[in-house]
């Protein structure tokens, strides 16, 4: 076994090229995983195309039927239709969408001709519909973009780990993040908000930790924090706590920090006011929380529900508690506080289980912080004798193996997502969230 000795941090991206290898391996593995989950993100590509072609974010031109206009992921504002979910992910995906638009344009242009062909040649309308679905490239584009951002998050996780661990154990940390958590089974499966959100939160955390070793860059943390909030409003908790930390401990940089964040805030509020005539979109309104009928059930559900429990789906994350033990640093307390507040916030949603998904989707954005404490745990282990390190590996191996199996299921077996609607819809029958006799993890493809 390679000893987990403490190492001198390597901060030079020019000398250490391994992080690009990390990106490539994780990205390819994600692309090779067949499950695609274009649920909440159904209109994300359409929104990007509307920005490119129409200069606006409404998607009126893509709605061809009443069924489209009543889709759960849409909202109508002043006579126009918009994706219900934050526009940030679509904006950040514009380079990818532009490339896909050019690459697939010949296919899209031929769809009407293909449609006429199928109507004329195929008597079975269901076959015709299935054939058209085969040509639908938007979910594939989502998969590429989501995999890119989640794999890039893996790079920053690797760099965070390298601040305290040697290369083999930093790679082990990346493996946990990339393949033993919802990074694989959720973030990389479709253009949810979580992939870009986790990437920017990981970058912000890396900049904050790096500042302790090589000062002078802390104010640039405002960029990933601002983008993380625009992508997913629950990240306001991280924005608040990290901003407070800068104010208290890096006060000379705070004005620069705020100056960098200001343009993002102005553009964000200006856009919202132009569309909604208010500074926050519908999705971010406070009224969406604090109406849960089962707050304490939701608190427990996010951790141990057989359908949504974080430690049921990724038991390896329990290792973070060992890293947390004995931590007295202000930063560790700040991170723990924001994690707890995030947990309380998502438990206050009436729809706390996050609709049709797999595992602990709403806890996904906390993964960089769980990894932070796991790195601290591994650093502790590295200071112990070799025999203790062997015992540690034997103890955690089953947790790693099971966590990998769980998220392999989410990336390769669509039956685990079908669990949400079979035998009945989970949104109409939330009592199924506690059914230990029918766990999505073990669903088999018919």
Nearest CA-CA partner of 420 in 132, 131, 150, 40? 40
Indicate the angle between helix axes 386-412 and 167-179, nearest 10 degrees.
Answer: 30
**What is the residue whose two structure tokens read 């004995």?**
326
**What is the residue whose two structure tokens read 């006011």?**
273
The structural domains of the chain, with segments of one domain joined by +, span: 189-442
DSSP state of 186: I
**What is the residue whose two structure tokens read 């102005």?**
266
Q: Tell me what pLDDT residue 289 has.
A: 73
Q: Tell me what pLDDT residue 240 has.
A: 98
Phi, psi of 39 (to 5 degrees): -105, -90
pTM for this model (two decimals): 0.91
- pLDDT tens, residue order, the chain (446 aa): 334 444 455 555 444 578 899 999 999 999 999 999 988 898 999 999 999 999 999 999 888 778 888 899 999 999 999 999 999 999 999 999 999 888 766 554 444 454 444 444 444 444 444 344 334 678 888 999 999 999 999 999 999 999 999 999 999 999 999 999 999 999 999 999 999 999 999 999 999 999 988 888 899 999 999 999 999 999 999 999 999 999 999 999 999 999 999 999 999 999 999 999 999 998 888 777 766 568 999 999 999 999 999 999 999 999 999 999 988 899 999 999 999 999 999 999 988 999 999 999 999 999 999 999 999 999 999 888 888 888 888 999 999 999 999 999 999 999 999 999 999 999 999 999 999 999 999 998 76
Phi, psi of 416 (to 5 degrees): -70, -25
Q: Tell me what pLDDT residue 166 has.
A: 92
- Contacts of residue 164, defined as CB under 8 A and 6 or more positions apart, other chains included, come to 6, 7, 9, 375, 376, 378, 379
Q: Tell me what pLDDT residue 403 has.
A: 98
Give the integer Cα–Cα distance in Å for 350 and 295.
Answer: 8
The shares of helix, strand and coil residues in the chain, as percent rounded to the nearest 5, are 70, 0, 30
């Amino acid at each position: 076994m390679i000893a987990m000795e403490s190492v001198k941090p390597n901060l030079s991206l020019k000398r250490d090229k391994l992080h690009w290898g990390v990106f490539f391996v994780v990205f390819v593995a994600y692309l090779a995983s067949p499950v695609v989950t274009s649920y909440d993100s159904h209109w994300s590509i359409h929104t990007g195309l509307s920005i490119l072609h129409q200069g606006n974010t409404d998607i009126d031109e893509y709605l061809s039927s009443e069924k489209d206009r009543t889709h759960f992921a849409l909202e109508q504002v002043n006579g126009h239709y918009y994706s219900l979910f934050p526009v940030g992910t679509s904006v950040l995906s514009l380079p990818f969408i532009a490339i896909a638009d050019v690459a697939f344009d010949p296919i899209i242009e031929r769809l009407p001709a293909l449609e006429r062909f199928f109507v004329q040649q195929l008597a079975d309308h269901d076959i015709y519909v299935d054939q058209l679905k085969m040509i639908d490239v938007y979910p594939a584009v989502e998969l590429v973009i989501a995999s890119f951002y989640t794999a890039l998050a893996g790079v920053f996780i690797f760099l965070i780990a390298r601040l305290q661990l040697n290369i083999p154990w930093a790679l082990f940390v990346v493996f946990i993040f990339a393949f033993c958590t919802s990074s694989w089974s959720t973030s990389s499966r479709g253009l949810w908000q979580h992939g870009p959100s986790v990437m920017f939160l990981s970058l912000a955390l890396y900049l904050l930790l790096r500042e302790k070793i090589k000062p002078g860059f802390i104010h640039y943390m405002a960029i990933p924090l601002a983008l993380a909030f625009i992508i997913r409003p629950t990240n306001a908790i991280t924005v608040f706590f990290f901003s407070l930390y800068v104010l208290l401990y890096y006060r000379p940089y705070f004005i620069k920090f705020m100056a960098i964040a200001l343009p993002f805030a102005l553009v964000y509020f200006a856009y919202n006011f132009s569309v909604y005539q208010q500074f926050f979109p519908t999705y971010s309104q406070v009224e969406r929380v604090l109406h849960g009928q089962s707050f304490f059930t939701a608190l427990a559900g996010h951790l141990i529900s057989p359908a949504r429990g974080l430690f049921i789906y990724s038991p390896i994350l329990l290792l973070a508690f060992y890293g947390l033990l004995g931590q007295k640093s202000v930063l560790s307390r700040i991170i723990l506080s924001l994690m707890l507040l995030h947990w309380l916030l998502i438990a206050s949603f009436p729809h706390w289980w996050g609709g049709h998904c797999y595992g602990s989707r709403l806890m996904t954005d906390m993964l960089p912080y769980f990894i932070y404490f796991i790195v601290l745990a591994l650093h502790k282990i590295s200071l112990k004798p070799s025999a203790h390190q062997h015992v540690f590996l034997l103890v955690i191996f089953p947790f790693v193996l099971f966590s990998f199996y769980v998220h392999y299921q989410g990336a390769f077996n669509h039956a685990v997502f079908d669990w949400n609607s079979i035998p009945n819809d989970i949104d109409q029958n939330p009592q199924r969230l506690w059914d230990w006799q029918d766990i999505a993890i073990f669903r088999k493809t018919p």
